[in-house]
Structure 1
């Protein structure tokens, strides 16, 4: 047994060091050092990136299921004219909760969650950067989502839409505490998103395996890096907007009151400066999934690696020049609108470049058609259709006719649900064996795919026609004789098929965890580093950190693998490399598991919830936040002793 306190003794022996030929005792020491503590208290103190990522994925998927149930209720309400299943106020609350959940509690967080699990494994690292902050980000996200639904169950659900336009959400029209809860939930989730962005950027730039220069990074790592930089620049806008909204409501400021010098369009500018890049915060990681899955099932490296990377970066830059795309019906000057029309057309170019690279990879490869590839191929069809309708809405004359109709709802779901959830399901089927150590059933997977693909198009394609026939969106019922009944019924049937498909996926996951086939380390024959370790990976990810010589390390010629030696096995010592060429730079000591991120998240939650009722909560609530953060960062004697022992060791 390895003595975990050996390093705290002033005359301790030099610590065990890892390496490709390290003895079994060293491997046991690594597992013990990097494992999460046992018990309930240990689970609250856990900071292992795989543990936190699994919790993130499970939580975001639970919110996805909640949003799906809300959507099914809305579709049932609209399935026939004059329906009275729910009233107008309830429908507004359902609509707001559905959109808010999908956009803020599922779409962006789930992409960060998957990245939080995979990125350290893909780049050959033992951990994610700032592991305690990673745990804190999860707890803040969880408490933010629970706050929204908790107040909704208490009758304080927001009803101003997931975009919370003013003056509808302002102090004069947004009655009750619903808009305040919505605004603080935004601050909750965006704080978590910003923290995750900093963590992932630092991990990718500074913790790559030696030899993994920027031009050898996996494309999913590139997509994640680009996305997180977008998060850093986009999310402060919506946090500023939500803060200004709650100040108008609680303190009496007049940011959005035109009669006292405010501007209602200011809200739309701030919101959509975040809102349209958010589409690509969801979309770009999905592109990274595609670029990771396709080479594996085409049995060849991706065609046009450099072109795909440049297309990802170009998409990110152009995404910040599109926000007025959502405001063509406002009083913005026509000349200004023309620039945003041009940008709306231009952003299709880098997406087209990636599609051509993917098609070239498929055509020149030897296809092995499995469930992950089916979701990828379906994504091509959905992406093209959603992109075409986006270009149509980018034209001001047509947008003015279709604005606030169901055509926009159809486009939104083809781009967001189709453009993100199809690749996400493909990613789940692809990486589930690595995460769980079990294989999902291929037959059930194909049934789920066809139900989802058919149900998706049956649900959302008729909405294009409803929009062209003049049906407004955000309406809770409609009269008979408008010619909308049959298409609404068809759309509701498609939504039910999507629900059955998702239920089938859950059944597949449960069966796989219960009695599924055990997965080998590399069941697909893939080429990236995450498949070089066991399924599921050990707590320390790698017994010895790899040295990379190419873009697909596992497809390199036999005899080429090399490994790093010399990191301590009894302490959380990691390797930090340079940004450009990933040359070894530092060997810092990472923190141990701690309960303080969880306690700090509780203190933060109390502060934010209290501020919904009184601004003084910001003042008094800051005190426990400062106390818990101080305890979080205060080094313990054991941590100090470990660091000193490592400094003395050779």
Structure 2
């Protein structure tokens, strides 16, 4: 099917048409259910909210939706690679490139990031005794920028313009000369818009943690999830700014022929430097919050304080610092020279030291503890050996001479997934099961949770462990077919079975949520016998928390007060009740950036100019509002 829209020729193949039909039908069903249940008021409430818990729920909701979309892309990839010389539907050539591009981009930027930001939004203010994030309006702006950036990236599929440049967007492949058309522009603008929202959220978290802690909540008394969220926010502030610079330069290359990454003056290696200065800290941006989740979960279900709290904080800070000194280990094969390769090999090996310290601290936390094997604890226990395996292969890749053999093979794919899935995804699952009562007021079913854990963990290892071997056998990544030699067929078939087992595991998670919702059994404030402040407020956490404000007297102050049969001391000398601010402006600001980017993508400059004017007007309207308050919580 071909048609022209505002001068742009668009061809929709059968799979894209099927996606349109499915989406329209799904949308019709959702609209029908909303109207039938009369939930329009609830939708409007979430569109205008600035409350941290509700915005956290929005992040988590859309992160889960995109998780299933990106997971389906992974199943398409593994189905194509299940057999040698396979001819699966249309997932070959350019279509295969599109699928692995959307899979990687969505998993990194639109799945892992929003799920972690959602947990940070929901939990961090409760853990430190804050009434909300420091800037609730900015928090809402950050979410809607993420939302419209993700929508902008995803509509490319429905227009048959899906980018096919990989999640790394390497130049010169991503320049107009080699990938003409709008596909790469959807990648550029989608990441620009959502990345700006992520930067806003990081700034918000930093100010909140530094300035809005409860009385007595010294930095040295904060839970480790709050610590990892703080350090992660600093990493985001630096790394995502570098990514924004790289994307803007690439945008000028594509739209205006600037030549930063091509031509006689530019160099595609510049893109690799800029991208990996972002890209490797991004690994720790995804992993560090998960480390904080595991620390809190293991401590709670071992009934012990985290072993070596000061060294745990120091190791997180060292990982964040060293994370900016290792980016060129992704570039050992580009010809930087022996001095550069040696320096980055050494720094890469060094970062294993603070990471190893954390592993031993988790093990010593459990030693002599009273361990309860709940679902969150199982995901935490599954993480430790899985992540160590990824760390071992990371040390192997840090040897530059060996990396020449491993580079661009399935060995690297296996290593990357062992690190990211073992830390980030297992950490997200642990966090969702652990804090689900605080988000919804219900505890997920333990039996179904165990089924989810075991099927996912077994499927994970069955998928990616054989890739180490296929990589050592020389199978390159980013190829859609291979011949039947070297025992690759059997190993690839095993990986495909494992991928589908991981997919089946998510059905247990869906059924668990549905069953919990149908049974509707509420839980109290503290179903896990928790140690930190979030378990002192109602479940689900109300909008008005900590009134009066608790006074923190040490690490795990809430736990020790419970153990002694006492209540935590409180004070009414600190503001506790937040101002109820609702505004549609964050939604409108995100949508104007969406249309501004759409105009630049298709050279509809009238739309970009109009959107820019509307955006400026919205910012002026916002600047006329004053929601500050005095010391007693009264509006100025």
Count of residues in correspondence between the two structures: 592
1:504 alignment partner in structure 2: 508
Partner of 2:9: none
Q: Which residue of 2 aligns with 1:13?
A: none
The 2-side partners of 1:595 and 1:494 are apart by 44
Tell me the distance in 2 between the aligned counterparts of 1:343 and 1:120. 34
The within-5 A match list for 1:554-633 is: 554-556=558-560, 557-559=564-566, 561-565=568-572, 573=578, 590=579, 592-614=581-603, 616=605, 619-633=609-623
Q: Where does residue 11 of structure 2 map in the other structure?
A: none
Question: 1:38/1:126 Cα in 2 relative to 1: closer, same or farther (>3 Å)?
Answer: farther
State the shift of 1:435 in Å: 1.1
**Distance between the aligned counterparts of 1:645 and 1:173, measured in 2?**
61
Is residue 115 of structure 2 the alignment partner of residue 110 of structure 1?
yes
C-alpha displacement at 1:615, in angstroms? 8.7
Determine the structure 2 residue equivalent to 1:9.
Answer: none
Q: Gaps spanning 5+ residues in structure 2: where?
A: 1-39
Query: How far is the alpha carbon of 1:520 from its aligned partner?
Result: 1.5
What is the aligned counterpart of 1:142 among 115, 140, 147? 147
1:310 has 2:299 as partner: no
Q: Which structure 2 residues correspond to residues 257-276 of structure 1 after superposition, within 5 A? A: 257=262, 259-276=263-280
**Residues 575 and 632 in structure 2, CA contact (< 8 A), matched pair in contact too:** no
Residue pair 1:527, 1:552 contacting (<8 A) in 2 also: yes
> Which of 36, 47, 60 is 2:50 aligned to?
47
Note the C-alpha offset of 1:622.
2.2
Contact 1:41 1:595 in 2 (8 A): no
Question: 1:245-644 to 2 correspondence within 5 Å?
Answer: 245-257=250-262, 259-556=263-560, 557-559=564-566, 561-565=568-572, 573=578, 590=579, 592-614=581-603, 616=605, 619-635=609-625
Q: In the aligned structure 1, how far is the partner of 2:364 from the partner of 2:541?
A: 33
Between the aligned partners of 2:593 and 2:199, the Cα distance in structure 1 is: 15
Other structure's SS at 1:479 match: coil
Deviations, residues 525-548 of structure 1 (Å, cap 9, x unaligned) = 111000001111111123322111
Shift, 1:560, TM fit? 5.8
TM-score by length of 2: 0.90
- SS of residue matched to 2:548: coil
Q: CA deviation at 1:41?
A: 3.9
Question: Post-superposition shift, 1:481?
Answer: 3.1
Partner residue in 1 for 2:164: 159
- For residues 549 and 361 of structure 1, the distance between their equivalents in structure 2, rounded to whole angstroms, comes to 22
Q: Does 1:198 align with 2:172?
A: no
RMSD between aligned residues: 2.0
Conserved 8 A contact 2:104-2:166: yes
Structure 1: distance between partners of 2:285 and 2:119: 13
More relative contact order, 1 or 2 (CA 8 Å, 6+ apart): 1
The answer as to whether partners of 1:440 and 1:516 remain within 8 angstroms in 2 is no
Give the Cα separation in 2 of the matches to 1:412 and 1:117: 28
Q: CA deviation at 1:648?
A: 9.9
Note the alpha carbon deviations across 1:366-411, whole angstroms, 9 max, x for none: 1111111111111001111000000000001110001011000000
Cα–Cα, structure 1 residues 256 and 615, in superposed 2: closer, same or farther, change >3 Å?
farther
Q: Residue 126 of structure 2: which of 99, 121, 124 is its match?
A: 121
1:88 matched to 2:78? The reply is: no
Cα distance change, pair 568–292 in 1 and its aligned pair in 2 (3 A)? closer
User: What is the aligned counterpart of 2:246 among 241, 246, 250?
Assistant: 241
Once residues 434 and 485 of structure 2 are traced to their aligned partners in structure 1, the CA distance between those partners, rounded to angstroms, is: 47
Which ranges of structure 1 fall in alignment gaps of 5 or more residues?
A: 1-36, 574-589
Listed one character per residue, the Cα deviations across residues 156-183 of structure 1 (whole Å, up to 9, x for unaligned) are 1000111111111111101211111111
Residues 427 and 646 of structure 1, relative CA distance in 2, 3 Å threshold: closer
